[in-house]
């Protein structure tokens, strides 16, 4: 999937991504990198709102699963079940979130369980940066539900 295709998908199907001006920097087999500017995500202290940081991290992790599963021809619904984020530094500028690849064994278990049981869980991590500094670390558990269809086949 090309970055422009994923960005268009996010903006059409997850309107918050458009309001936050999220852009797709890179789509690779093992990661997705999203970027967001400070302006639409600013808080009363002149830094990025924590909810925006969390939302972009969730979008980056969800996007990795979405693109990998689509690439494998798997139609499913994706939802986040739980997440945690460590805010390491205030974010005082534009920032990125890069999803990290799941362990190969975990991916194999996830896809096998989804095929056999119609439901599977997997944990995805993200690193968020502002300039070159790591500003937050995210971990989210996602659930894939077999089936779905139409434009909403990989909803969050």
Percentages helix, strand, coil for the chain, rounded to the nearest 5? 35, 35, 25
Q: Which domains does the chain have, with CATH numbers?
A: 3-152 (3.10.129.10)
- The helix or strand, by DSSP H or E, that contains position 141, with its residue range, turns out to be strand 133-146
pLDDT in tens, 26-72: 999 999 999 999 999 999 999 999 999 999 999 999 999 999 999 99
- Please give the span between the terminal C-alpha atoms of the chain, in angstroms, as a whole number: 18
Those residues with Cβ within 8 angstroms of residue 42's Cβ, 6 or more apart along the chain or in another chain: 48, 49
**Please, where are the H alpha helices in 27-128?**
50-71, 104-117
pTM of the model: 0.93
pLDDT in tens, 96-154: 999 999 999 999 999 999 999 999 999 999 999 999 999 999 999 999 999 864 444 44
Helix axes 3-13, 50-71, angle to 10 degrees: 120
């Amino acid at each position: 999937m090309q970055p422009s295709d994923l960005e268009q998908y996010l903006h059409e199907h997850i309107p918050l991504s458009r309001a936050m001006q999220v852009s797709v920097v890179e789509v690779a087999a093992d990661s997705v990198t999203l970027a967001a500017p400070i302006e639409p995500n600013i808080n009363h202290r002149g830094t990025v709102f924590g909810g925006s940081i969390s939302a972009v991290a969730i979008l980056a992790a969800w996007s990795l699963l979405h693109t990998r599963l689509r690439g494998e021809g798997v139609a499913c619904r994706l939802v986040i079940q739980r997440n945690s984020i460590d805010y390491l530094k205030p974010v005082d500028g534009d920032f990125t979130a890069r999803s990290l690849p799941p362990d190969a064994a975990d991916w194999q278990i996830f896809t096998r369980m989804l095929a056999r049981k119609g439901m599977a869980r997997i944990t995805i991590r993200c690193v968020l940066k502002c300039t070159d500094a790591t500003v937050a670390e995210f971990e989210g558990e996602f659930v894939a539900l077999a089936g779905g269809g139409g434009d909403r086949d990989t909803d969050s």
